[in-house]
Structure 1
Amino acid sequence: MTSSIRDTVAAVRRAPHPSTDVHDYIRDNREDLRATLTDRGAVLLRGFPVGGVDGFDGVVRAFSGSAPLTYAERSSPRSTIQGQVYTSTDYPAEEEIFLHNENSYQAVWPQTLYFYCIEPAHTQGATPLADIREVYRNLDPAVREEFERRGWRVVRNFHADFGVPWQQTFGTDDRSAVEAYCRDKGLTPHWRPDGGLRTVAVRSAVHTHPVTGERVWFNHATFFHVTTLAEDVREGMLAIFDEEDLPTNTYYGDGGRIPDDVMDHLRATYRAASTRLDWERDDVLVVDNMLAAHAREPFTGPRRIAVAMAEPSA
C-alpha cells in the first residue's frame, strides 16, 4: 500500500536512524513532542523499532509519564491485547467508523490517545483526523449556540441479547455497583424488564482545552445519532427497535429532537475538517483527544491497530 501523510493533522517525527530507540527518543525530545502535540493535535512517530506491544506500552509511559488507562464505560467492542492495550474497535472491515473524540460522552475521558500499527491494511484503512477547533469555528453559529445553551443528551440501551452487555460495559454484574458508578458519573440508570439497562446522561457540547484555553467541539452528539449510521444499518436497527430503545441515540440536553438538517450540517463540518493518515507498520500515532477527532475507513486485509489511553481529564 502506498502511504501518504501529506496534509494530515499530525506532525510527523521520523526516526533519525533505523535503530533509534523510540523510548530514548521520546525522553530526549519530550518537551518538544508535548508542545507539538498541543499545537497540532497529533504526532506521528514513524520509522522507529517499537518492540511490539510491550514497546508500545513503554511509549505510553514515556510520553505521558503514567501507565495506560483501563477502558471503562465502553461503547464499542474491543479485545484486550495485553494489560491496558486494546484492539481498535472490532467493527466489520467494510464499515466506516465516523469521526469522534474518545469517551467524550463520559464525565471523565482520556486526554491522550495512542495508536500502534501492528499490521496495516491491504487497501484503505486510513485513520482520518479532524481538528475540532476548526469544527467549532466552522459550525453555523446558530447551531453551535443551540448546543451550548441546551447541551446534548445521550441515551444508551443495553439489551440482554444484542450488542455490548451492561455487564461488560461497567465491568460488573452487580446492579448496586452499576448504580453507584452512575451516581458518581452523572448517569441516570433505568433497569429494563428484560434484564437490560438504559442510561441517560446530559453533557456539554463545547469544552475548553485545559492547556490552550481554546473552545473545542467535544461531544458524541453526531457519532451516536441514529442518522449517522450507514443507511442499511440504520434501517435494520429501526426495524428491530423503537427509537427510544436504540442501542445509542442523541438529543438536545432537554430531550428535544435534533433536526435532520442540523445533523447533516454537523457531519459535513466534521468531514470538511478531516484529513487522512495511511498506516505503515510500527507507526505510533499520539493524539490529543481534546484537539483531534479520529475515525476509520473501511479496509481489506488484516489491519491490526493497537490502542491505549492515558491522562484522565479529571
Structure 2
Amino acid sequence: MLVTALPGQSLPAVIEPDNDLSILDVIKENRAEIRSLITRTGAAMFRGFEVGGVDGLHDVVRALSGAPLDYTERTSPRSSLSGNVFTSTDYPPTEEIFLHNECSYQAQWPMKVFFYCLQPAETQGATPFADVREVYRHIDPAVAEEFIRRKWMYVRNFSEMGGSWQYFYDTDDRSQVERYCGSQGIDVEWVGTDGLRTRAVREPVHPHPVTGEPVWFNHATFFHISSLPQIYQEEMLEMYGEENLPTNSYYGDGARIPDDVMKHLQKAYRAALTRFDWQADDLVVIDNMLTAHGREPFTGGRRIAIAMAEASDAPVEP
C-alpha cells in the first residue's frame, strides 16, 4: 500500500493501492500498520480501491474493527442501509452540521467511525474533520479548566415536534427507557402526556485509551443552540423556549454557558478544520476520540454511508 497525504491537508492520511491487491487483502496484510496510522494521525482514507458498496463496507469494518455497532441513544435521524450500516445524518442539504465527535454525549461511544462515499455531491458536501488535540490547544486554558471543574450537562426534550422518544430510543416501553437511562447515568423526567426530558452530566476531557493523552471530547458545543444558524436559533427559541429545546448544553451544575465562551469554543473547532472533496468509493476511517467531523451544505444526490465500531468499554486494541 502507498501512504500519502492530501495536498495542504493534515487530515486524513491517504492509503492508495500500489499493486493489484483488493482493499480487504491490503487490510489483512497491513492491519496493525493501518490501525497505528489511524491512531497517530486521527484519520485514514482508502482511495482508489473498489470497496463494493454497502456490503463491501460491512466487510471492511469487520476486517479492521470487528462487528459494526448499533446506533443507540440516537440524536440524529438516520436510515439503515443494511444491518448496522446507516445513512449519514438525514438533514436538509442546505444545512451545515457543526463539528462533533460521534456519540461523545454517551457513557460509552464508538472508537472508530467509517465514512463511505456512495455518491459525491455536485457542489460542496465535504465531511470536514478537525483534530481535537488541535482544538484543545486553541481553547483558552481558563475556559477548559472551568469545564473540567464543573463538567457539562446536556438536556434533551422529546416531543412530537422535536422528535419522539419512541424513535430515538427505538422502543415504546417507558420502563425500558428508564432502565437504559439509569444504566447510563441519565436522569429521566416524564413531561405531560407523552413527553420526556433527560439530563446527563459528562466529563469534557477524556484520556485516550491507547495514547493516554487528554482529548477534548464532548458534545457541549454541538448541542448548544448557538451552534445553529441564527435564523434557526430564533425560530427554535420562539417555538420551544429555552427550557424545552430539543437539545441544549449547560455547565454540569445546570448554569448557562456564557455566549462568549460558546463563541470561543466554536472558533477553536473551526481553527482546526480541514476539508476535502469526496470521490466515489472513498472510505475514511477515523479515531473517533481524536477526530471531530461535520458536514458542509451541498447540492446534488450526495450519499455517504457510515458505520461505527469498537465500543469504548470493550478491551482496548492498539
Provide the secondary structure at the position in 2 that maps to 1:163: coil
**For the residues of structure 1 that align with 2:276 and 2:83, how far apart are their CA atoms?**
27
Q: Which residue matches 1:208? A: 207
In the alignment, the residues of structure 1 paired with residue 249 and residue 57 of structure 2 have an alpha-carbon distance, to the nearest angstrom, of 35
Residue by residue, what CA displacement relative to the aligned partner does 1:238-264 show, whole Å, maximum 9, x if unpaired?
110110100000000000110000000
Q: Where does residue 177 of structure 1 map in the other structure?
A: 176
> Which position in structure 2 is the counterpart of 1:152?
152
Contact 2:128 2:295 in 1 (8 A): yes
Q: 1:147 aligns to what SS in structure 2?
A: helix
The answer on whether the counterparts of 2:124 and 2:296 sit within 8 Å (CA) in structure 1 is yes
Q: 1:28: Cα distance to partner? A: 0.7
Task: Measure how far apart 1:5 and its partner are.
Answer: 5.4
* Offset at residue 296 of structure 1 (A): 0.4
Q: TM-score, normalised on structure 1?
A: 0.96
Q: Is the 8 A contact 1:118 1:281 kept in 2?
A: yes
Distance 1:130 1:222, change over 3 A: same
Letter in structure 2 aligned against 1:48: F
8 Å CA contact 1:11, 1:40 repeated in 2: yes
For 2:163 and 2:126, how far apart are their aligned partners in 1? 25
Q: How many residues align?
A: 308
2:138–2:271: 8 Å Cα contact kept in structure 1?
no
1:113 is matched by which residue type in structure 2?
A: V
Match of 2:53 in 1: 52
Task: Determine the structure 1 residue equivalent to 2:115.
Answer: 115
Q: Quick one: which amino acid aligns to residue 12 of structure 1?
A: V
Structure 2 SS opposite 1:47: coil
CA contact (8 A) 1:20 1:48 kept: no
- Other-structure match for 1:72: 72
Asked if structure 2 preserves the Cα contact closer than 8 Å seen for 1:150 and 1:254, the reply is: yes
Alignment-mate amino acid for residue 110 of structure 2:
P
1:18-97 aligned within 5 A: 19-64=20-65, 66-97=66-97
Given that 2:128 and 2:294 are in contact with CA atoms closer than 8 Å, whether structure 1 keeps it comes out as yes
Deviations along 1:157-188, one digit per CA (max 9) or x if unpaired, are 001x2133111111111000100001000000
User: 2:12 & 2:29 partners in 1: Cα distance?
Assistant: 20
SS of equivalent to 2:265: helix
Contact 1:107/1:185, CA 8 A, preserved across alignment: yes
Q: Distance in 2 between matches of 1:56 and 1:163?
A: 32
SS of the residue 1:216 aligns to: strand
Q: Distance in 1 between matches of 2:18 and 2:163?
A: 43
Q: Deviations over 1:108-159 (max 9, x none)?
A: 0000000000000000001110000111122100000000000000000001
The DSSP-based 3-state class of the residue aligned with 1:223 is: helix
Letter aligned with residue 268 of structure 1: K
Aligned to 2:197: 198
After superposition, the C-alpha distances for 1:54-89 in whole angstroms (9 at most, x for unaligned) are 00000000111x110000000010000000000000
Q: Which residue of 2 aligns with 1:13?
A: 15
The residue matched to 1:222 in structure 2 has which SS?
helix
Matched-pair contact (CA < 8 Å) for 2:124–2:297: yes
How far did 1:34 drift?
A: 0.5
CA distance in structure 2 between the partners assigned to 1:58 and 1:138 by the alignment: 38
Which segments of structure 1 move beyond 6 Å, counting only runs of 4 or more?
none
Rounded to whole Å, the distance in 2 between the matches of 1:120 and 1:241 is: 35
Flag structure 2 segments of 5+ consecutive residues without an equivalent: 1-5, 314-318
Does the C-alpha gap of structure 1 residues 194 and 97 become closer, same or farther in structure 2, counting only changes over 3 Å?
same
Q: Deviations over 1:217-237 (max 9, x none)?
A: 000000000111111111110
Distance 1:29 1:6 in 2: 26
Aligned residue type for 2:45: L
5 Å matches for 1:234-249? 234-249=233-248
Amino acid at match of 1:11: A
Matched-pair contact (CA < 8 Å) for 1:61–1:67: yes
Identity, % of aligned positions: 59
Separation in structure 2 between the aligned mates of residue 123 and residue 15 of structure 1, nearest angstrom: 27
Q: Do the aligned partners of 1:76 and 1:164 also contact (CA within 8 Å) in 2?
A: no
1:43 and 1:81 map into 2 onto residues whose CA distance is 23
Separation in structure 1 between the aligned mates of residue 137 and residue 198 of structure 2, nearest angstrom: 31
**Distance in 1 between residues matched to 2:158 and 2:46, nearest whole Å:** 38
* Cα shift at 1:8: 3.6
Give the aligned CA root-mean-square deviation in angstroms.
1.0
